[in-house]
C-alpha cells in the first residue's frame, strides 16, 4: 500500500509538469481527407450510412484557453483532466484512442452518425438498451448486424477515435470521463439482421452512393481489439474518407488484451469459415460492384488462412476483391513468398503498408522471439514480391488501422493515398502521390511515404 501511494504521488507530480507544458504548447488542428471535398456533399441521412465529412474547426488561442478552463461532464474541471492525462498516459484502457478536447457544441448537429454493417463469430455477451454486446468467446457461428456509431462533429480530428479519458492503475479503473457523443465516438444502436436484412439496408446505401459509386469496403481488425473498438475504427475510416458506400467490418474474437496474443492467434484462424461466408454475403449485396478490403495486423493471419484453404467460396470467385490493403500484416516475412500468389490472385491490386513502428506488430515480434513479420521494415526496406506494391509508411504510422495515435500531420498522406486508391484504383503509388520516394533494391522497387 505504501509503494502504491508513493507511486501515485510521484505520478501526480509528473502530471503537474505535463499540465504546465500543455498549457504552454500550441494546439494542433486537422482537416479532413482532401478528395472528395466534403463541402460539395449534401448532408446525408443519419440512418443510411451516407454522412457528411466535416472539417475540424480552427480555433483561436483565446477560445482554446476558455475551453481549457471549462468543466466537463458537469463535475470534473479540465485542470483535473490534465493531471489525470499526465499520470494515466500509457496506462489508459485499450479502448481509449484519443483525448481530443471538444469544441463548443453545434446547436444544429452535435455529431454525425456512421453506420457499419458487421459480421462476427464472437459469442453474444449480453443485451443493453443500445442492443447486443459481444465478448471474446467463440460462437462458432456467423452473426450479422449493423451498428450506428456517433462521431463528434466539432471535436473529431482526422485519424482519431475520440473516447472518454480514464485513470487506470494496475488494471483497476479509478476514474473515467462520462461518455458524450458531442465529444466522443459512441455506440448509438446495434441491431442484428439476417442476410436479407443486411442486403436490403446495405444495398440501399450502395445504390445511393455517388462519390464511391457502387463500392463497399471491408475492414478486418488486428490483434488486441474488442468488438466495440473494431466498430469505432471502421466508422472512423469511412467517415474520414468521406466514404458514402456501405462500410463493412468483420470482427473475429480477439480478447482485446496484449497478454492474450496466443489466444488471439487461435481465434483468428478459427474465424476462417465464418469470414468466408461474410465476404460472400458482401459480394452479393445488391448495388455493390466493387469491394475493397483492409486487413490490419493479425487480421491478415485470418485472411491468409482463408486464402490458402481449399474449397472456400472466396477461392471460387477469382479476383473478387478490387483493392486489397495489407496494413502491417502479422505474417512470417520469410514464408510469404510461398503464399503471396494467393493474395495477388484474389485481388486486382494489392498494397502492402509496412511500418517499423506499428505497436501490434512490435508486440508480435517480441512474443515470436524476433521473427521478422511481413509488415515490418528491415534494413533493406519492406518485403518485395511480384504484383504487390510495397510502401514503407514508417514516417506516417498505422494509427488509423489500430490503436496507435500521433499528430494530424503524419496521417494526412496515408488517408489521401488510401482514398485515392479506393476511388480511382491508380497503381503504382506515384500515380496517386507524386511526392512518394521510389527506392530500388536488387529484388525490385518499393516506395517510401513522406511524413
- Per DSSP bridges, beta strands 131-152 and 186-193 are antiparallel
Pair type for strands 76-77 and 71-72: antiparallel
Q: Is the separation of the CB atoms in 446 and 391 below 8 Å? A: yes
Tell me the pLDDT tens digit for each residue of 206-226: 999 999 999 999 999 998 899
pTM for this structure? 0.76
Q: How confident is the model at residue 152 (pLDDT cuts 50, 70, 90)?
A: very high
Q: Is the pLDDT of residue 77 over 70?
A: no
* Range with lowest mean pLDDT among 74-83, 264-273, 352-361: 74-83
**Whole-angstrom distance, CA of residue 133 vs CA of residue 276:** 23
The answer on pLDDT for 138 being more than 50 is: yes
pLDDT of residue 60: 33
Q: pLDDT tier at 413 (50, 70, 90 boundaries)?
A: confident
Q: Which of 45-54, 142-151, 172-181 is the least confident region?
A: 45-54
Reply yes or no on whether the pLDDT at 11 is more than 80. Answer: no
pLDDT: which is higher, 50 or 277:
277
Strand order across the 321-327 sheet: 186-193, 131-152, 111-128, 247-251, 215-220, 290-296, 321-327, 347-354, 389-392, 444-448, 437-441
* Cβ contacts of 390 within 8 Å, gap of 6 or more: 352, 354, 381, 382, 383, 384, 446, 447
Mean pLDDT of 385-403: 79
Question: Can you read off the three cell numbers belonging to residue 230?
Answer: 473494431
* Closest of 185, 177, 182 to residue 74, by C-alpha: 177
For the chain, the maximum distance between any two Cα atoms, rounded to a whole number of angstroms, is 64
Give the pLDDT score at 13. 45
Closest CA to 387 of 329, 431, 353, 428: 428
**pLDDT tens-digit readout, 26-70:** 333 333 444 444 333 333 343 434 333 333 333 333 333 333 333
- Per-residue pLDDT at 108: 61
By DSSP bridging, strand 172-176 and strand 186-193 are unpaired
Residue 122's alpha-carbon distances to 112, 119, 132, 251, 413, in angstroms, are 27, 9, 11, 8, 34
Positive or negative CA dihedral for 380, 383, 389, 391? negative
CA pair distance 157, 149, nearest whole angstrom: 16
- Could you give all domains of the chain from N- to C-terminal order, each with its CATH number? 109-162+182-448 (3.40.50.1820)
Cell numbers found for residue 363: 508486440
The pLDDT of residue 355? 86
Q: Whole-angstrom distance between the N-terminal and C-terminal Cα of the chain?
A: 46
Nearest-Å Rg of the Cα atoms of the chain is 21
Classify residue 195 as exposed, middle or buried by CB count within 10 Å of its CB (0-12, 13-18, 19+): middle
Give me the pLDDT at residue 370, please.
Answer: 66
Q: What is the pLDDT of residues 224-261, one digit of tens each?
A: 899 999 999 999 999 999 999 999 999 999 998 888 99
Residue 17 has pLDDT above 60, yes or no: no
The percentage of residues in the chain with a pLDDT greater than 70, rounded to a whole number, is 71
4 sits in which H/E element = helix 2-24
Contact 263, 233 (CB under 8 A): no
Distances (CA, A) of 147 to 21, 55, 185, 196, 250: 39, 24, 12, 17, 12
Which pLDDT belongs to residue 236? 93
Q: Tell me which residue has cell 498494397.
A: 351
Helix (H, G, I), strand (E, B) or coil at 334: helix
Amino acid at each position: 500500500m505504501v509503494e502504491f501511494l508513493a507511486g501515485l504521488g510521484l505520478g501526480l507530480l509528473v502530471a503537474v509538469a505535463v499540465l504546465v507544458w500543455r498549457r504552454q504548447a500550441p494546439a494542433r488542428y486537422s482537416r479532413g481527407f482532401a478528395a472528395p471535398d466534403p463541402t460539395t456533399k449534401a448532408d446525408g441521412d443519419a440512418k443510411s450510412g451516407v454522412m457528411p465529412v466535416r472539417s475540424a474547426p480552427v480555433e483561436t488561442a483565446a477560445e482554446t484557453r476558455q475551453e481549457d478552463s471549462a468543466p466537463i461532464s458537469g463535475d470534473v474541471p479540465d485542470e483535473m483532466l490534465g493531471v489525470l492525462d499526465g499520470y494515466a498516459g500509457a496506462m489508459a484502457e485499450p479502448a481509449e484512442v484519443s483525448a481530443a478536447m471538444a469544441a463548443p457544441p453545434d446547436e444544429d448537429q452535435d455529431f454525425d452518425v456512421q453506420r457499419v454493417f458487421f459480421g462476427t463469430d464472437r459469442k453474444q455477451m449480453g443485451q443493453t438498451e443500445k442492443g447486443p454486446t459481444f465478448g471474446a468467446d467463440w460462437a462458432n457461428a456467423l452473426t450479422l448486424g449493423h451498428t450506428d456509431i456517433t462521431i463528434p462533429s466539432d471535436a473529431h480530428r482526422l485519424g482519431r477515435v475520440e473516447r472518454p479519458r480514464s485513470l487506470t492503475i494496475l488494471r483497476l479503473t479509478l476514474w473515467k470521463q462520462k461518455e458524450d457523443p458531442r465529444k466522443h465516438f459512441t455506440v448509438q444502436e446495434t441491431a442484428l439482421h439476417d442476410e436479407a436484412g443486411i442486403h436490403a439496408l446495405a444495398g440501399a446505401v450502395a445504390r445511393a452512393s455517388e462519390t464511391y459509386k457502387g463500392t463497399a469496403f471491408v475492414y478486418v481488425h488486428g490483434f488486441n481489439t474488442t468488438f466495440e473498438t473494431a466498430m469505432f475504427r471502421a466508422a472512423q475510416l469511412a467517415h474520414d474518407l468521406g466514404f458514402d458506400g456501405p462500410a463493412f467490418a468483420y470482427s473475429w474474437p480477439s480478447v482485446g488484451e496484449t497478454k492474450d496474443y496466443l489466444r488471439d492467434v487461435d481465434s483468428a484462424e478459427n474465424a476462417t469459415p465464418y469470414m468466408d461466408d461474410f465476404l460472400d454475403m458482401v459480394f452479393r449485396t445488391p448495388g455493390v460492384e466493387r469491394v475493397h478490403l483492409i486487413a490490419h495486423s493479425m487480421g491478415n493471419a485470418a485472411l491468409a488462412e482463408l486464402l490458402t484453404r481449399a474449397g472456400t467460396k472466396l477461392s471460387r470467385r477469382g479476383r473478387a476483391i478490387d483493392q486489397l490493403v495489407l496494413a502491417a500484416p502479422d505474417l512470417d516475412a520469410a514464408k510469404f513468398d510461398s503464399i503471396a500468389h494467393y493474395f495477388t490472385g484474389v485481388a486486382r491490386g494489392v498494397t502492402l503498408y509496412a511500418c517499423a513502428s506499428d505497436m501490434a506488430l512490435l508486440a508480435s515480434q517480441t512474443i515470436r522471439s524476433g521473427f521478422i513479420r511481413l509488415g515490418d521494415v528491415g534494413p533493406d526496406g519492406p518485403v518485395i514480391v511480384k504484383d504487390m506494391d510495397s510502401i514503407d509508411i514508417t514516417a506516417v504510422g498505422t494509427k488509423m488501422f489500430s490503436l496507435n495515435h500521433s499528430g494530424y500531420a503524419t496521417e494526412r498522406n496515408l488517408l489521401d493515398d488510401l482514398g485515392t486508391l479506393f476511388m480511382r484504383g491508380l497503381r503504382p503509388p506515384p500515380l496517386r502521390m507524386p511526392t512518394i520516394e521510389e527506392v530500388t533494391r536488387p529484388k525490385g522497387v518499393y516506395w517510401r511515404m513522406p511524413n
